[in-house]
Amino acid sequence: MTTPSTGALSLSADLAELFQKSARLEGFKFLGLSDLTWGIEAKPASTHSSVQEPLPLVFQNDPFAELARQQGQIKTVVIPVGAEAHLFEKGPDSTLGLQWVNQVWHVQVQEKATLEMVLFQDTAEFAKEAVQAFHRIYFSLAKDATLNLTLVQQGSEKGQVRCHVDCVGEGASAQIHGLTVGRKSQRQDLWVDVHHTVPHTQSHLTAFAVVQDQAHSIFNGQLNIEPGAFFTEAFQKNKNLILSDRASVDTFPKLLIANSEVKCGHGSTVSSLDPEQLMYLQSRGIDQAEAQQMVRTGFMKQAIDWIKNTETREAVELALGLRIEGGDVNDF
Task: Count the neighbouring beta carbons within 10 Å of the beta carbon of residue 244.
Answer: 13
Tell me the C-alpha distance between 256 and 264, whole Å: 10
Establish if 325 lies at the interface with other proteins (CB under 8 A). no
Identify how many contiguous H helices and E strands the chain contains and give both numbers. Answer: 6, 16
- Please give the residues from 17 up to 56 whose contact with other proteins meets the rule CB under 8 A: none
Establish if 284 lies at the interface with other proteins (CB under 8 A). yes
Piece in contact with other proteins (CB under 8 A), picked from 1-9, 136-144, 211-219, 296-304: 296-304
Tell me the C-alpha distance between 144 and 164, whole Å: 18
- Please give the residues from 64 up to 123 whose contact with other proteins meets the rule CB under 8 A: none
**Gyration radius of the chain's alpha carbons:** 20
Piece in contact with other proteins (CB under 8 A), picked from 40-48, 122-130, 133-141, 275-283: 275-283
| Residues β-bridged to residue 167 | 141, 196
Query: Which member of 214, 255, 286, 292 binds other proteins (CB under 8 A)?
Result: 286
Smallest gap from residue 266 Cβ to other proteins (A): 19
- Give every CB contact of residue 294 below 8 A, 6+ residues apart in sequence: 281, 286
Query: Which member of 61, 227, 245, 275 binds other proteins (CB under 8 A)?
Result: 275
Phi, psi (degrees; rounded to nearest 5) at 130: -95, 55
Piece in contact with other proteins (CB under 8 A), picked from 84-92, 95-103, 220-228, 280-288: 280-288
Tell me the C-alpha distance between 265 and 263, whole Å: 7
The count of residues interacting with other proteins (CB under 8 A) is 29
Distances (CA, A) of 146 to 75, 199, 220, 232, 316: 20, 15, 23, 15, 22
Cβ 242 vs Cβ 271: under 8 Å: yes
Query: Which member of 20, 34, 277, 292 binds other proteins (CB under 8 A)?
Result: 277
Query: Which member of 280, 308, 311, 324 binds other proteins (CB under 8 A)?
Result: 280
Piece in contact with other proteins (CB under 8 A), picked from 37-45, 122-130, 148-156, 273-281: 273-281
Write the binding mask 238 to 267 for other proteins: x where contact by CB under 8 A, - elsewhere: ------------------------------
CB nearer to other proteins: pick between 115 and 209: 209
DSSP string, 218-251: EEEEEEEE-TT-TTEEEEEEEEEEE-STT-EEEE
Query: Which member of 61, 260, 283, 310 binds other proteins (CB under 8 A)?
Result: 283
Phi, psi (degrees; rounded to nearest 5) at 242: -105, 120
Query: Which member of 26, 66, 125, 287 binds other proteins (CB under 8 A)?
Result: 287
Phi, psi (degrees; rounded to nearest 5) at 244: -145, 160
Helix 310-319 and helix 288-304: axis angle, to 10°? 140
Query: Which member of 118, 300, 307, 320 binds other proteins (CB under 8 A)?
Result: 300
Smallest gap from residue 330 Cβ to other proteins (A): 5
Establish if 299 lies at the interface with other proteins (CB under 8 A). yes
Query: Which member of 5, 285, 310, 326 binds other proteins (CB under 8 A)?
Result: 285
Residues that bind other proteins (CB under 8 A): 274-277, 279-288, 290-291, 294-295, 297-302, 305, 329-332
